With several copies, the nearest count.
Chain A
């Protein structure tokens, strides 16, 4: 049992810290998705990080990665959070899908732009009629002589407004039931027939969009893997989606907690004994979460039920929602009158039990797959 860094990890971490110390100030300002300037700043930040060799470090060197373990991805996320830097580009799962399933030609065409962050990607999975029930999706890619023609609609597509390419999960085999009929395509977002509509969230965020496909041609060479393999690739991606990023997210929650603690210590956030103890209780939860995420990351390849992403997500959501509830109460009237960032963060915490699979679905996965309870 050892929760501390190995020498290699410590060296990697120190290198990253040094790089951040030198370069963060140049890039961190103005990063966001609320304006064209913010998006441009985000892309600059991603490209700088990629150029420094800190993007998708777990990918094979032949594809532009560094062939390091997931742990290093986690260190990147963790250190960026600790430094108060914007997150790394969330492209690890897309990169792994392409690297592990795409043809050599497709890889050569798209991986450099993806990994160098010179091209921006989105992931077209959810649909209005297929959220929790993803296998019910109905966007079709009908085979033609030289490829496919896509028709349908995606929703909750993060960064779609600014994306150059989309990894699209769609139905190519209409005669196959549910998940057996799905395939994965790379779609250039400037192809005629694609329309994007921004979604404004309750917290003012403009990260999501709807994407409409109207007779959109996609060349056969843009098929990732084989026809009918879409579901498998999507599942494969899920295993890369969380773990390391959880480390960053946990770190960011830790920053929020630390700021609240500092506010109480300094008297800026007046807190009676009850509020102090509520803050201490959520600090306990946040600390256990960070230990759990670390363990989960290292144990990922084992058969240990602790490796389950659904458990991690449920625990994270529990902690995050409680944290923002306490921080909200610490803010008191300032939560409802005045600058709205705290309230928007509280709202965003509420969304965590919905996005990426609702709490109810996550619990069902845990109950059936990990506890072995029978299906209803």
Chain B
């Protein structure tokens, strides 16, 4: 057993965090819901993202990628969540992984890895998983993306962003066909599908972990400086009891992420998916609970547009819903564990 990040992974986390923070600092949620900056990165920001190798991170080397382990990708995504990065890096990673699992040609994947082709994954209308076709689908985390591929390889342009709870990430409807960008895809083997699914769920767990730990840290910082009744509110036991349970949730979620991310590459696909469902169920619950608590600990100020507290809660709720919330996964796990003869 060697549980935890190795020095390289720690370095990756640090570097990713620095860039994520910098990207986040250039994005402005404005003075109210009608004043939010676009989640699409500027060309300069996208160039920095590509330069950092993020779109290429997980693709295999023969597809122009860096062939990183799922743990490494999780380390990056935790930082994207931690800084509520608006640029659609997660959407890109998910779309790339899906296309690779569907056997997309190397040139398509190379273009993604090089940041030249900006794609978003298509999810079904309930955001429960990948869409079977473009019909009624939603292009997820798709700010600035130019195309989305349906599983039949058809390429689709993307419409305007829809209204969303999450102010940092866009959801758009696929629009017109772009037939000259169609690509050849094949249905994935069951094993590939399970591993893809496990990978995607793991990224959402990572984003939830980053989001909830940012929310908790900020709430603790606020509680340390804000005074009422002549002392910092963080010195009140009622506040401490909440924050402590939140740290328990954060640390347990981190353990779940570590296992789930390790399992993607180390365990048989069905076991990896089972672990990822478990982690996603846990993180969905705990992520939202911690972000709700952070709003509470921030007090009145946490309910203003100005405060970041609602941004975390919006992102956590969206992560929770995307690719299935705790109820969706617990339903599957119940069937797996409790069916007669299971």
Asked whether any CB of A lies within 8 Å of a CB of B in the complex, the reply is: yes
State the B residues within 8 Å of A (CB).
Answer: 1-6, 9, 31-33, 71, 125-128, 138, 162-166, 171, 220, 223-224, 227-232, 234-241, 243-245, 247-248, 251-256, 258-259, 261-263, 266, 275, 278-279, 281-282, 292, 295-296, 299-300, 302-307, 309-310, 313-314, 317-318, 321-322, 325-327, 329-331, 333-334, 337-342
The number of residue pairs between A and B whose CB atoms lie closer than 8 Å in the complex comes to 287
**Contact residues, A270-299 vs B (CB, 8 A):** 271-272, 274-277, 279-281, 283-285, 287-289, 291-292, 294-299
Chain A 342-370 per-residue mask, 1 if CB under 8 angstroms from chain B, else 0 = 01000100110111001110111111101
State the A residues within 8 Å of B (CB).
Answer: 1-6, 9, 71, 126, 129-133, 136, 155-156, 199-204, 206, 261, 264-267, 271-272, 274-277, 279-281, 283-285, 287-289, 291-292, 294-299, 302, 304-306, 311, 314-315, 318, 328-329, 332-333, 335-340, 343, 347, 350-351, 353-355, 358-360, 362-368, 370-376
Chain A residues within 8 Å of B341, by CB: 265
Q: Is the CB of B4 within 8 A of A299?
A: yes
User: Given B232, B241, B313, B330, which contacts A284 in the complex, CB threshold below 8 Å?
Assistant: B330
Chain A residues within 8 Å of B333, by CB: 280, 283-284
Q: Is the CB of A288 within 8 A of B252?
A: yes
| Known contacts A332-B126, A360-B241, A364-B237; A284 and B300 CB within 8 A of each other | no
| Known contacts A336-B166, A374-B232, A376-B235; A288 and B279 CB within 8 A of each other | yes
Please give me the 8 A-B residue pairs with the lowest Cβ-Cβ distance, nearest first.
Answer: A202-B310, A367-B240, A363-B244, A292-B255, A280-B334, A366-B244, A200-B32, A360-B238
| Known contacts A287-B278, A288-B255, A373-B235; A338 and B334 CB within 8 A of each other | no
Main secondary structure of the interface of B (DSSP, over half): helix
User: Given A1, A129, A200, A203, which contacts B258 in the complex, CB threshold below 8 Å?
Assistant: A1
User: Given B125, B234, B295, which contacts A373 in the complex, CB threshold below 8 Å?
Assistant: B234
Chain B residues within 8 Å of A314, by CB: 244-245, 248
Q: Choose among B162, B237, B338 the residue with the greatest number of A CB atoms under 10 Å from its CB.
A: B338
Q: Is the CB of B31 within 8 A of A200?
A: yes
Q: Choose among B255, B279, B299 the residue with the greatest number of A CB atoms under 10 Å from its CB.
A: B255
Additional pairs, 17, CB under 8 Å, beyond known A1-B71, A354-B295: A3-B259, A131-B300, A200-B31, A206-B32, A277-B330, A280-B330, A281-B326, A284-B282, A292-B251, A337-B162, A350-B296, A351-B303, A354-B303, A366-B244, A367-B243, A371-B244, A374-B232
Q: Is the CB of B337 within 8 A of A283?
A: yes
Alpha-carbon distance A202/B301, docked complex (angstroms) = 10
| Known contacts A277-B331, A281-B281, A333-B125; A133 and B300 CB within 8 A of each other | no
Q: Is the CB of B163 within 8 A of A366?
A: no
For this complex, 27 residue pairs linking A to B, each with C-beta atoms less than 8 Å apart, are A71-B1, A131-B228, A202-B307, A261-B337, A266-B340, A275-B327, A277-B334, A280-B337, A283-B333, A284-B278, A284-B326, A288-B278, A288-B279, A304-B4, A306-B255, A315-B252, A329-B325, A337-B165, A338-B162, A343-B317, A347-B303, A360-B238, A364-B237, A366-B244, A367-B244, A372-B220, A373-B239
Q: Choose among B128, B236, B340, B342 the residue with the greatest number of A CB atoms under 10 Å from its CB.
A: B236
Alpha-carbon distance A7/B305, docked complex (angstroms) = 48
User: Given A71, A292, A374, which contacts B235 in the complex, CB threshold below 8 Å?
Assistant: A374
